[in-house]
A and B are shown apart, each in its own frame.
Chain A
Amino acid sequence: MQVEGYNIPEDFFYDTNNYWIKVNNDEAIIGISAYGQSTIGDVLYVDTIDKGNYIKKLEDAGSVEAGKWVGRIIVPISGTILEKNGAVIKEPGLLNSDPYGKGWILRLQINEKNELNELMDAKAYAKWVQEQVAKEQEDEMLI
Chain B
Amino acid sequence: MKKTWRLLDTGALSAAENMTLEKVILEARSRDIIPDTLHFLQFSPHSALVGYHQAVELEVETEYCRAHGIEINRRISGGGNLYMDEGQLGWEIFTIKDAPGIPARLEDFYRLMCESAMAGLKRLGVKASYRPANDIEVEGRKISGTGGTGKGNALLYHGTILTDFDVDTMIACLKLPLKKLENHQIKSFKERVTCLKEVLGYVPPINKIKDAMAEGFAEVFGINLEPAGLSEWEKNLLNQELPYFQSDEWIYGRRSQYQASDLVEADYKSSGGLIRVALRLDKTRQRIKAVFITGDFFAYPERSILDLEAVLKNHSSRETDIYATVTKFFNDHNIEVPGCRSEDFCYALVIAIEKAVQVL
Contacts and interface: CB of A to CB of B under 8 A. Distances in A.
A121 interface: no
A65 interface: yes
B150 A68 contact: no
Interface in A35-64: 39-42, 44-45, 47, 58, 63
A139 B103 contact: yes
B106 interface: yes
B78 A47 contact: no
Interface of B: 51-53, 76-80, 101, 103-108, 110-112, 115, 133-134, 145-152, 256-258, 284-287, 314, 316
B78 A69 contact: yes
A120 interface: no
A135 B101 CA distance: 10
Contact of A45 (B53, B147, B286): B53
Contacts of A123: none
Contacts of B145: 68
Q: Which 9 A-B pairs have the closest CB atoms?
A: A68-B147, A68-B79, A45-B53, A70-B149, A139-B103, A65-B78, A70-B78, A68-B78, A70-B52
B257 A90 contact: yes
A67 B114 CA distance: 14
A42 B314 contact: yes
Interface of B is mostly: loop
A67 B107 CA distance: 9
Interface residues of A, number: 30
Contact of A69 (B112, B115, B148): B148
B275 to A, nearest CB: 26
A72 interface: yes
Contacts of A136: 103-105, 108
Given A70-B51, A72-B150, A93-B287, 12 more contacts: A45-B53, A45-B256, A58-B152, A67-B106, A68-B134, A69-B106, A70-B149, A71-B149, A71-B150, A91-B284, A92-B285, A143-B115
Given A68-B78, A69-B147, A143 B111 contact: yes
A63 B151 CA distance: 11
A136 B109 CA distance: 11
A44 B103 CA distance: 22
A89 B104 contact: no
Contacts of A142: 101
A116 interface: no
